[in-house]
Amino acid sequence: MANSRSGETVTERIVRVLETFDADRTVQTTAEIGRRARLPSSTAHRVVAGLVECGLLERDEEQRVRLGMRLWELALRGSHALRLRQAALPFMERVQARVREHTQLAVLENGETLFVERLSHPHAGANITRIAGRLPLHASSSGLVLLAHGPEELRERVLAGPLEAVSPKTVTDPALLRRVLAGVRRDGVVVAPGTVEAVSTGVAVPVREGRGRVVAALSVVLPRSTPTGPAAEALRSAAAGISAALGARRP
């Protein structure tokens, strides 16, 4: 941004710095951040110092750096994700009480599945998804719902593009995937056995806002052996409840 041989904006660099943090890397030294964000050492120190100054980053007991509560606050307080989550949470709890495994809420973001909320039972099975984590659209049950109801242009791009296998059972054949998506639209529910992890089955339904547009996917992750019928029923009624809560918001 500013000057000298870089060719990037300050904004881009800030994003690159924030990107270096994830669930496995919540605290880092400034030098580490610089390396991962591909910034010269002195630049990294200056940028990080600026972000700390503004509260977007914080320093722990002298030394390392972590994401600041101020960033968390600014990102959430005006966000649509929070509204959606708040509307959905009570219904997710109800699903959770019945199904006793993993219940999660996901949205479409930049051609991927982004998980917004997740409730887990203490004794629930495997599940690699995380809040604020991503998965490809064609792999997870939530993603299939979002893709099936997403813009046609995106659907065609995904069907054309390379379909990487997340697990051995991931659907990677475009023709088959197209049939699966048609099925999702027809049935209003998708059952995806083993497409993310061999031992789990995902079940997902669409969540619609007032006018019927699909804004999210609600899903549960079950062990492969569990029957999916009751879960699908619980999801369907929860999705209806969330839609009502979203619709009734504005007078």
Partner DNA sequence: ATCCGATTCCCGTTGAATGGGAAGGACCGT
Partner DNA sequence: ACGGTCCTTCCCATTCAACGGGAATCGGAT
Query: Minimal distance in Å, beta carbon 236 to a copy of itself?
Result: 20
- Among left, alpha and beta (phi > 0; psi -120 to 50; other), residue 102 is beta
- Among left, alpha and beta (phi > 0; psi -120 to 50; other), residue 7 is left
Among 134, 85, 88, smallest CA distance to 235 is for: 88
Query: Minimal distance in Å, beta carbon 128 to a copy of itself?
Result: 14
C-alpha distances out from residue 100 to 47, 122, 220, 231, Å:
45, 9, 9, 10
**Is residue 99 a contact residue for a copy of itself (CB under 8 A)?**
no
**Is residue 61 a contact residue for DNA (CB under 7 A)?**
no
**Is residue 60 a contact residue for DNA (CB under 7 A)?**
no
Task: Figure out which of the listed residues 15, 49, 75, 82 binds DNA, where binding follows CB under 7 A.
Answer: 49
**Is residue 86 a contact residue for a copy of itself (CB under 8 A)?**
yes
Among residue numbers 56 through 85, which ones bind a copy of itself (CB under 8 A)?
56, 66-67, 69-83
Instruction: Print the binding letters for residues 119-148 with a copy of itself: x by CB under 8 A, - otherwise.
Output: x--x-------xxxxx--------------
**Is residue 110 a contact residue for DNA (CB under 7 A)?**
no
Q: How far apart are CA 32 and CA 64, in angstroms?
A: 10
